Amino acid sequence: MGRNYHVAIAGATGAVGVEMLRVLERRNLPVGKLTLLASARSVGKSLDFKGEKIAVQELTHNAFDGVDFALFSAGGGISKEFAPSAVKAGALVIDNSSAFRADPQVPLIIPEINPEAAKAHQGIIANPNCTTAITLMGLWPLHQAFGVKRLWASSYQAVSGSGAKAIEELKLQVEALARGETPPRAVYPWQIAFNVIPQVDVFLESGYTREEMKMEGEGRKIMGLPNLRASVTCVRVPVYRAHSVAISAEFERPVSLAAARAALEKAPGLRVVDEPSRHGYPVPLNVAGKDDCEVGRLRLDCALDNGLSFWICGDQLLKGAALNAVQIAELMAGV
């Protein structure tokens, strides 16, 4: 691969695709050429990149000639259909969907945690689920210090995790309710404005949702912990941007607050915000648009042996998606 890279974004007009564009503008990957790909209905649109307007082209099997990095964020079905064509054309695919995450042949990467695993790729590298990525940014440093065994977590997930239509739905519902009108509803099974919905993704026979099981499955793969156990409840909340997760984790070794704080404070991509007496703790409004995740509410868990409870917030369009994907490209480019 040359010094200046040809980067393609598949799903360029979606919420994550647009974020990938913004991240590429301000990061270190030297982009010589940028190709924006989307469905036929988006052809004719153009997006700004470093002051230049770039026309959106149709995503086809022949769209990847000369592409070095193909960043996919157009859903699992699209990734399964078109990623092999990108690989065949010589591109390294970095996929943001769930299509390849569980595939043992495909590395699942968070650069701050398991960068060395990326070397084993066979043309595709997977980006983790957004809630998993944000959780592991806090859990990994603690695992290195104390050895994690199992965890219980509840997520508080922003509507932008469901895409641009969900952002619009929350906005329209709030406006309709303020006018005393019946709120429109299309994206979610219940009104999301002034409500919380304890369902993200589809239910499995176990009673957990698919999103909830990703924390265990992806956590095992990324951290190299085949016996990790995680019980998770994922909840959609009326927040536009940035996910929050409450976690109680049980560790192999005794936990101290001082050692936990020290481990978190030196972790890359993470800020400790933990001054409860001054209302100092992470909130989604404060991390929206920021690269780093924030962790706080650190306390010894009163119901677990060797347990620690904490709260973490992160922008799921950034660390949970676009930023992580671009960081993987930077890792592979050696920048």
DSSP 197-219: BS--SPBPTTSSBHHHHHHHHHH
pTM: 0.95
Q: Hey, what domains does the chain have and what are their CATH numbers?
A: 5-128+321-333 (3.40.50.720), 132-316 (3.30.360.10)
Distance from chain centroid for Cα 306: 28
Residues of the chain with pLDDT under 70: 1-2
Nearest in space to 224 (alpha carbons), one of 332, 106, 140, 295: 140
Respond yes or no: is residue 130 known to be catalytic.
yes
206 CB neighbour count, 10 Å cutoff: 8
DSSP 151-164: EEEEEEE-GGGG-H
The predicted-structure confidence for 135-175, as pLDDT tens digits, reads as follows 999 999 999 999 999 999 999 999 999 988 999 999 999 99
Q: Are strands 46-49 and 31-38 parallel, antiparallel or unpaired?
A: unpaired
* DSSP result, 46-99: EEEETTEEEEEEE--TTTTTT-SEEEE-S-HHHHHHHHHHHHHTTPEEEE-SSS
Alpha-carbon distance of 71 to 8, in angstroms, equals 6
CA-angle at 35, arms to 62 and 330, nearest 5°: 110
243 included as an active-site residue: yes
Coil, strand or helix: which one is 306?
coil
**Dist CA 231 CA 117 (whole Å):** 26
Q: Three-state DSSP class for 260?
A: helix
Burial of 235 per CB tally in 10 Å (0-12, 13-18, 19+): middle
From the list 291, 331, 317, the residue with the least C-alpha distance to 110 is 331
Catalytic residue among 6, 121, 143, 243: 243
pLDDT of residue 66: 97
pLDDT at 3: 80
Q: What integer pLDDT is reported at residue 1 of this predicted model?
A: 45
Identify the sign of the CA torsion 138, 143, 145, 150.
positive
Q: Which of 6, 121, 130, 293 is catalytic?
A: 130
CB atoms within 10 A of CB 145: 18
The Cα angle at residue 24 between residues 23 and 27, in degrees rounded to 5: 80
Q: How far from 180 is each of 38, 174, 175, 177, CA to CA, in Å? A: 38, 10, 9, 5
Pairing of strands 148-157, 243-251: antiparallel
Tally helices (H) and strands (E) across the chain: 8, 13
